Structure 1
Amino acid sequence: MNRRNGKRKKTVGLIFMLPSLIGVICILVIPYINVIFYAFINVWNRKFVGFDNFKRVILNDSFQLAAYNSLKFIVTCIPILLVLSLIIAVYLHEHVAAITNTFKSIFLFPLSIPVVSIVLLWRLLFDDQGFLNGIFNTFSIKGVDWINSKYSFGILVFSYLWKNLGYSIVLWLAGLSTIPKQIYEAARVDGAGDKECFCYITLPNLRSTLFVTMVISIINSFKIFREAYLLAGDYPNKSIYMLQHLFNNWFRDLDIEKMSAGATLLSIILLVPIVALYKCWNTKE
C-alpha cells in the first residue's frame, strides 16, 4: 500500500513538473545544444570544422582582453564581497537582538533600484563635469575623466559591491541562524574565545552557505555588463571591456561561429570551477 502511494505521489509530482520541464527543454536545453552544434561547423556551408572556431576565438585579441578584464573583475570583487559581507553578518548576528524582515529589506534595497537609475547617479558623480570633479575644481585641483579612463574599473567594482553586499549579508545571516547556540555555549564553557568560536564553529558550519553565496556572486558579476554598457557604450575604456561587450559586438555583426564557440568556452569555464567547488564541499562535509 505504501509503495502504491509512493508511486502515485511521484507520478502526480512528475505530471505537475512536466509543463515546466518542457519549457526548460524548449527554451534552454535545445537552444544550448544548437549553440554547441554551431561552434563546430561553418555556418555558411554547414561543414564540420572541428576546433577551428575555438582557435579563432582564443587567438582573438579582443577576446583575450575581455577575458582578462572579466577574470580580473571576478578575482577582485568576489573575495572583497564575501569577506566584507561575512564580517558584517557575523557582527549583526552577535550584536543585533532581532534582525527583522524590514531590516533585511534595507539590505536588499539596492537590488530593487533600476540599472538606469544607478548609471544616472554614477554619471552625476563621476562624469567629466560631474559632482566629484566640481568639488576638485573648488579647491583648484584638476579633475579626472573617471568614466573614460582606468578609474572606470574602480567605478564598476564599487557599483557591484554596493548592489550585492546586502544580498550576501542576508544569505550569511540565513546560514548563521542555522547554527545551534548550544554549540557556542559549550565551547565557551570549555574556554574557547571569539576567535576559536569563529574558526572552529562558525566557518565550518557556513561551508554550504559559502558555496551558494560564491556561486550567486560569480553569476551576478556577469550582470555588471548592464552598468558598463550604459555607462560607457559599446567600446568603453579597455579596463572595463568585458566578455559581454565582445559578445554584444559579435551579435551585432552576426558572427554566429565566434559567438557559439565563445559561449561554449564560457560555459565550460564557469561549469568546471562550480562543479569542482561542489565536490570539494561535499567531500569535506
Structure 2
Amino acid sequence: MGFKKKDGLAGLLFLLPSLAGVLVFVLLPFGDVVRRSFQEAMSGAFVGLRNYQMVLSNGAFQLAAGNTLRFMGVCMPLLILLSLLVAVLLHSRMERAGMLKITFLLPMAIPVASVVLLWRAVFHRDGFLSLLAEALGGQRVDWMNSHWAFWVLVFSYIWKNLGYDMVLWLAGLSGIPSTVYEAAQVDGAGPMTIFRRITLPGLLPSLYTITVLSFLNSFKVFREAYLVAGDYPHTSMYLLQHLFNNWFRELSMDKLAAAAVLVAAVILVLILLLRRAWDEGEEG
C-alpha cells in the first residue's frame, strides 16, 4: 500500500505543472469569457441572455456558422476516407513507401506565408489556373471571389492534413498482427473481405482520435483564408473565425463572448456524442 501511495503522489506531482497551466491559461480565462457573455460590453451591466439572442439573430453569425458546418461536413469525411485509402496502399508497400510518406507529409512543413504565395500564384485571376483556362479557350476566373472559393478552401485543408492523418492510420495498421492477415489468406479470404473483416475492425480504436484531431485541425485553415482573402472574403468561405476576428477588431466583446461560449458548447457536445457513439460501436 505504501508503494501505491508513493506512486500516486509522484504521478500527481508530475501532472501538477500541466494542470496548473491549464487552469491559469485555459479554464480561468474561459470562465471570464462566460461571465462577460452575460454583461454589456461597455458598462459591464448584467443583461441576461440578451447577448446570446443578438448573436443567434445576427445574419453574419448565421452565415459564418452555416459555412463552417458545411466546410466540416464536406472536409472531414473526405479527409478521413482519402487518408485511410492512402495509408492502406502505403502499408501494403512499406518497403518502397519511404519517399511517398515524405511527400504526403511535406505540406505540414511548408510555412503559412509560403502557402499563401502558392495560393495567389495558382488561384489569382492572373494565376496559373486562369491562364491555363484561357489557353484552353475559356475565360479567366477570379477563383477566390467566386463560388469556387469554398472548394479552394476544401482542397487546401485536405492537402495540408492528408499526411498527418495518413501517419495516424499507419500507426493503427501497424498494430494489427500480420499473422491475422496470413491466416485469412490461407483460409481463402480475398482482399476486400480481409479489409472489411480485419482491417476496418482493427482500425476502430484509431478512428475516434483521427476524427477529433481532424475536427480541431479544420479550424486552422482560417490562417490561409484570411491572408489570401482578407477580413471579408467571398460569402461561401466566410467562417466563424472571420466573424470573431471582425468583432474583436470592432471591440464587440459582448457578442464575441456569447458566440465563443456557444461555439465551445457545440464543440464539446459533438465530441461527447462522437465519444459515446465510438464506445457503443466498440461494445457492439
- TM-score surpassing 0.5? yes
Three-state SS of the structure 1 residue aligned to 2:145 is coil
Q: Distance in 1 between matches of 2:149 and 2:280?
A: 41
1:16 to 14, 30, 36: 14
Tell whether 2:76 aligns with 1:78: yes
Matched with 2:281 is 284
Q: Distance in 2 between matches of 1:51 and 1:184?
A: 58
Matched with 2:52 is 54
Q: Distance in 2 between matches of 1:104 and 1:33?
A: 42
2:153 to 126, 137, 156: 156
Q: 1:196 to 1:140 in 2, by over 3 A?
A: closer
CA drift at 1:270: 1.0
CA drift at 1:264: 0.7
Alignment of 1:171-190 (within 5 A): 171-190=168-187
Matched with 2:30 is 32
Matched with 1:262 is 259
2:230 to 224, 233, 242: 233
After superposition, give the CA deviation of every residue in 1:21-53 in whole Å (9 maximum; x if it has no partner). 212111111001111111122233433322221
RMSD: 1.6
Q: Distance in 2 between matches of 1:231 and 1:146?
A: 11
Asked if the contact 1:36/1:261 (under 8 Å) is kept, the reply is: yes
Matched with 2:245 is 248
CA drift at 1:138: 3.1
Q: Distance in 2 between matches of 1:251 and 1:132?
A: 35
With 257-266 and 126-135 compared, the bigger mean Cα shift is at 126-135
Tell whether 2:105 aligns with 1:91: no
1:106 to 78, 83, 103: 103
Q: Percent identity over the alignment? A: 49
Q: Distance in 1 between matches of 2:67 and 2:6?
A: 52
Q: Distance in 2 between matches of 1:158 and 1:139?
A: 23
- AA partner of residue 171 (structure 1): L
What is the count of residue pairs matched by the alignment? 282
CA drift at 1:183: 1.8
With 191-200 and 37-46 compared, the bigger mean Cα shift is at 37-46
List runs of 5+ in structure 2 lacking aligned partners.
none
Three-state SS of the structure 1 residue aligned to 2:188 is coil
Q: Distance in 2 between matches of 1:103 and 1:145?
A: 33
Q: Distance in 2 between matches of 1:139 and 1:19?
A: 61
Q: TM-score, normalised by structure 1?
A: 0.93
Matched with 2:121 is 124
Tell whether 2:112 aligns with 1:144: no
Q: Distance in 2 between matches of 1:139 and 1:281?
A: 49
CA drift at 1:253: 0.8
CA drift at 1:140: 4.2
Q: Distance in 2 between matches of 1:274 and 1:242?
A: 20
CA drift at 1:136: 2.9
Asked if the contact 1:107/1:170 (under 8 Å) is kept, the reply is: no
Q: TM-score, normalised by structure 2?
A: 0.94
Q: Distance in 1 between matches of 2:90 and 2:49?
A: 52
Matched with 1:210 is 207
Asked if the contact 2:88/2:170 (under 8 Å) is kept, the reply is: yes
1:5 to 3, 7, 14: 3
Asked if the contact 1:111/1:163 (under 8 Å) is kept, the reply is: yes
CA drift at 1:16: 2.7
Matched with 1:272 is 269
Asked if the contact 2:41/2:252 (under 8 Å) is kept, the reply is: no
